[in-house]
Amino acid sequence: MIDRKAFRTNFETMQQALARRGEALVAEGSAWAKASELDAIQRELKGKSEALQAERNRVSKLIGEKKRQGEDASEELRCMAEVATQSKQLDVQAKAAEDAFIQALLEIPNMPDSSVPDGEDENDNVEIRRWGEPRQDEVPAHWDIGEDLGILDFEAGTKLAGSRFSVLRGAAARLERALMQLMLDMHTDQHGYEEVWVPAIANRKTLTGTGQLPKFEDDLYRLEGEDAFLIPTAEVPVTNLYQDNILELESLPIKHCAYTPCFRREAGSAGRDTRGMIRQHQFDKVELVQLVHPDDALITLETLTSHAAAILETLELPYRVMDLCAGDIGFSAQKTLDLEVWLPSQHCYREISSCSSFGQFQGRRAGIRFRDEHGKPQPVATLNGSGLAIGRTLVAILENGWQSDGSVLIPKALQPYMGGLEAIAKA
RNA sequence: GGAGAGAUGGCUGAGUGGCUGAAAGCGCACCCCUGCUAAGGGUGUAUAGGUUUACCCCUAUCGAGGGUUCGAAUCCCUCUCUCUCCGCCA
């Protein structure tokens, strides 16, 4: 959520920043326009309502005093009956107006940071750097490699659950587990993150805190008969660990990593990546989350991204870093750096990690605050990034490690986690 | 799932209709005494919104929502959560 005061006092600047995401967001009928309209109404009603409540409180106190001293208070009682009724009505209106205002604010995306490049969509993203030597020879798609080795079973996934589900067997299943372990080990032992294990189900408030709700309910799996959802990312439960907390300045930065399964309806991506493991309804991910002082947010984004990149380097997977343009960053993001891994079968880089700073946007929504240098509570800055998406990492390993005899080389760093296995070959 | 008990500030814990945004203790911060070891004394210490240069002030909040009342932490209703016992279960 954007700051309700800044929304008013800084209207022009914020509007311009928001417009960089796309003009429609500030156009007539947008949440932005609605919010500015509701803000005025809300404040006027609230002012009136509070004045009346003040009057009520004052006279009520008087009545109390008179009664205690055995005096007659019938006159006050008579006129207060009227005031009480009015006050109640006004209060209801004022509350409704404020709710509507907050609802509108919740639908307004975060302001892109000034360092975010201009642009409309992924074509305008800016490449920052590359690492590794991408292989240029012809490599089969991972689904062919996997099925050929008998370790990826898409048919079984479909039979059990539907499209966009898959089954891993043998070396692939172990690879999934090995990757999870390697990633968690590196982040805890080398990068200083505390590992947490969290529920894969979250309630509405929690999902509102990180920005998935109210706007993107269609992307989530909702539990029948409950106001709860399967998490689309560990960001949701891990960030919200501190929901409604006021943290001490010294406790920052807070750094967590977590493995969770992730569940996405993929409602808007019909026809995209329908084959293989790139886009699944359920996938595994190790997530990095940091809560930091707002002044440190953008610097931390660099280090957090480097922590995710370190996994790719350890696994010897070529990648590049992309600075997402204003039109392509997510709803809650202030700035996003994507890591894209080389997929030789597609002759291109594909997203494997998305690292974002949210500024104080989530902190404000989720009520995660810290005491600043003056002892005043203010929203913390939050960041997160995949470190990494495990399914996609497995895909990258299959394709980048593929050899013309059909076998797949296991990266050295991963071999201990695979029981010393150096290559996956046909049984 | 059944029965019972409970939910108050950073923590413990008073408070059954007005003088309670909330006693007391602990913790924390600052000051004093002492003197460098233990201890003692004083002051301060919720969050949000509105207003304001700021102070002040106003409003809301005692799990959440609704009701009764001139007035609710306190009475009534609904919900959520926690604890204990029983049942079930990995």
ipTM confidence score? 0.88
Question: How far apart (Å, rounded) are the C-alpha atoms in residues A41 and A189?
Answer: 53
User: Could you say which nucleotides of strand B lie within 7 A of any protein CB atom?
Assistant: 10, 18-19, 46-51, 58-60, 66, 70-71
Question: How far apart (Å, rounded) are the C-alpha atoms in residues A242 and A237?
Answer: 9
Collapsing DSSP to helix, strand or coil, A111 comes out as coil
Q: Phi/psi at A173 (nearest 5 deg)?
A: -65, -40
Using the predicted structure, report yes or no on whether residue A427 has a pLDDT greater than 80: no
Average pLDDT for chain A? 94
Q: What is the pLDDT of residue A73?
A: 79
Confidence of residue A66 (pLDDT cuts 50, 70, 90): confident
Q: What is the pLDDT of residue A225?
A: 81
Question: How far apart (Å, rounded) are the C-alpha atoms in residues A427 and A408?
Answer: 13
Nucleotide nearest to A227 (CA to C1'): B80
Question: How far apart (Å, rounded) are the C-alpha atoms in residues A136 and A367?
Answer: 49
Q: What is the pLDDT of residue A80?
A: 86
Collapsing DSSP to helix, strand or coil, A261 comes out as strand
Q: Name the residue among A221, A204, A222 with its Cα closest to residue A213.
A: A204
Using the predicted structure, report yes or no on whether residue A188 has a pLDDT greater than 80: yes
- Domains of chain A are 4-106 (1.10.287.40), 122-424 (3.30.930.10)
Q: What is the pLDDT of residues A159-185, one digit of tens each?
A: 999 999 999 999 999 999 999 999 999
Q: What is the pLDDT of residues A316-368, one digit of tens each?
A: 999 999 999 999 999 999 999 999 999 999 999 999 999 999 999 999 999 99
Structure tokens at A14: 């914020």
Q: Name the residue among A295, A78, A303, A268 with its Cα closest to residue A190.
A: A303
CB atoms within 10 A of CB A155: 10
Nucleotide nearest to A52 (CA to C1'): B59
Residue A2: how many CA atoms within 13 Å on its side-chain side? 27
Distance A96 CA to B25 C1' (A): 42
| DSSP codes of every residue in A288-356 | EEEEE-GGGHHHHHHHHHHHHHHHHHHTT--EEEEE--TTTS-TT-SEEEEEEEEETTTTEEEEEEEEE
Distance A247 CA to B12 C1' (A): 21
Kindly state the DSSP code that residue A402 receives in the 8-state scheme. B
